[in-house]
Amino acid sequence: MEVKVMKNIMHANERLAYENRELFKQNHITVFNIMASPGAGKTSVILKIIEALKEVTAIGVIEGDIASSIDAEKIEKAGIPVVQINTSGGCHLDANMIKLAAQDLKLKKNSLLFIENVGNLVCPSAFDLGENIKMVIASVPEGHDKPHKYISMFEAADVVVLNKTDLLPYIDFDKDSFYKGIRLLNENVPVFEISCRTQDGIKALISWIEDRMFK
């Protein structure tokens, strides 16, 4: 006898992600899931956003790493509430981790929450955390072929940031190929070219984020 099941294999995570999403929505918290390879600039981008918006709105950060609190310490130094998750080998964050971290963080209503995922262009895209926006950060030194190789990540992105544009004169980075790879997977995704080091392009990214805050 055939029995229809029609259940997502990631059912348990999906359910927790849904609950997270509802909680964030009720409290008017705009949540970003920031994903990238190690070293692409996740923490740097968050720090730039904090610098621009901390007088405008309350901000909270959840840091995800296999080990250490290096990134959380940087956020703390910037005067922003932060919780560090250490996954002890886990290569991505999941909805349950975020549920628990958000409780520790005591998020304010009408605020921004940035979740810095574990450095990894593969696994995080498969785990809904309850976020509003998936931000994928690529960087110039990684090369222009990342959207061609990591198709799930770039297909899932709600916004793509290309960081370290100050290094373009020194690296063989084919922008056409980079954009082509993105557009095939994600036709209309906004792409922001920035340099955290020189401040180039940061204003436009901040503006885009402000437009998406819960009003």
Partner 1 sequence: MHEYSVTKNIIDICIEEAKKSEAKIIKEITLVIGELSYFADESVLMYFNLLGEGTILENAALVFKKQPIELQCKVCGQKFHKQGNIFECTKCKGPGVITGNSGNEFYIESMEIE
Query: Residue 47 CB, nearest distance to partner 1 (Å)?
Result: 30
Q: Out of 56, 126, 171, 204, which residue is the one contacting partner 1 (CB under 8 A)?
A: 126
Spatial CB neighbours of 100, under 8 Å, sequence gap ≥ 6: none
**CB nearer partner 1, residue 1 or residue 88:** 1
Query: Residue 116 CB, nearest distance to partner 1 (Å)?
Result: 20
Query: Residue 6 CB, nearest distance to partner 1 (Å)?
Result: 6
3-state secondary structure (DSSP) of residue 121: coil
State yes or no: residue 89 binds partner 1 (CB under 8 A).
Answer: no
CA 179 – CA 187 distance, rounded (Å): 10
What's the residue count for the chain? Answer: 215
CA 67 – CA 51 distance, rounded (Å): 26
State yes or no: residue 122 binds partner 1 (CB under 8 A).
Answer: yes
The CA-CA-CA angle for residues 147, 152, 154, to 5°, reads: 40
The CA-CA-CA angle for residues 142, 147, 151, to 5°, reads: 130
Closest CA to 139 of 31, 38, 34: 38
Q: Out of 66, 78, 185, 189, which residue is the one contacting partner 1 (CB under 8 A)?
A: 185
State yes or no: residue 11 binds partner 1 (CB under 8 A).
Answer: yes
**CB nearer partner 1, residue 151 or residue 168:** 151
Query: Residue 135 CB, nearest distance to partner 1 (Å)?
Result: 19
Closest CA to 85 of 20, 124, 99: 99
**CB nearer partner 1, residue 35 or residue 107:** 35
State yes or no: residue 184 binds partner 1 (CB under 8 A).
Answer: yes
Which residues of the chain form contacts with partner 1 (CB under 8 A)?
1-12, 122-123, 126, 148, 151-152, 155, 180, 183-187
